Structure 1
């Protein structure tokens, strides 16, 4: 009996270590891929061959790494180098720039970028949700609710807009 218990304990431990090893290896593989792409993009920038999309991708990497100052710098370059006829892509760049500002608690700058994204792509639900969230941080509850409701008109099942709109409606409801 004791041997069976020890064997099952050992087997469980080996299985746990194997799972941990796989998870660590996956993370190392992902990180290596991101670092390789980062190096490639930085080389293109240094060689003067970067496109707006390259700057956007580089900014996105910095955003994921929470290097907001570098992110803002790259996304601003992306906007300057972007093809103006690609309004959907440009809306995503402005949205990402808004998120970088939002993450630094620069809500006025974030709002400006989210509005620019929506000017370029008026049906951009993610941009509406982000703008609504920035309005909430600025205590502009009515404008935030309006953004979430606008998002729900386009995407009635959007979970973010549903949750935030319901929360704001409760806050704005008169208490009796």
Structure 2
């Protein structure tokens, strides 16, 4: 394997049904990159955005509406894949912006590698299943959280991401759980 530091990618792929030899081969095409906090790795409308595997740090995917308002759709940390699923599977433009919340180190799988992988039906199905299951997890998390009252949404997030809650700006947490930063400050004060 190219680097032992990419071993978590192999382990994740194997846990999701990829045979070890194929996982090792897949990782041999991966690069590594480090980014400082607040770096945009890819943006909405970018062609062929990479697939990322978070080795350390935290990323978020967000969308921007016509008025310039940001809506955080996914927060990801070590051991998680981050990608624009539609762009990856169907060669479309990115629907999301991917930004580093903290300093990050990621495994990078570019779209040229993904095109080769998608040529083989078995690999395509495995990767499609992996990304679709991540998309479903993201949607389920939001659907479980959003009907809750604001304080309960914060508690849900805090329980789900205990390390993250200490490391990312409150504004990102507020955006992800769907409250204003001032409301989040009040929630935190009442929980002390």
TM-score range, shorter chain: under 0.3
Greater relative contact order (CA < 8 Å, ≥ 6 in sequence): 2
> Which structure dedicates a bigger proportion of its chain to helix?
1
With normalisation by structure 2, the TM-score equals 0.25
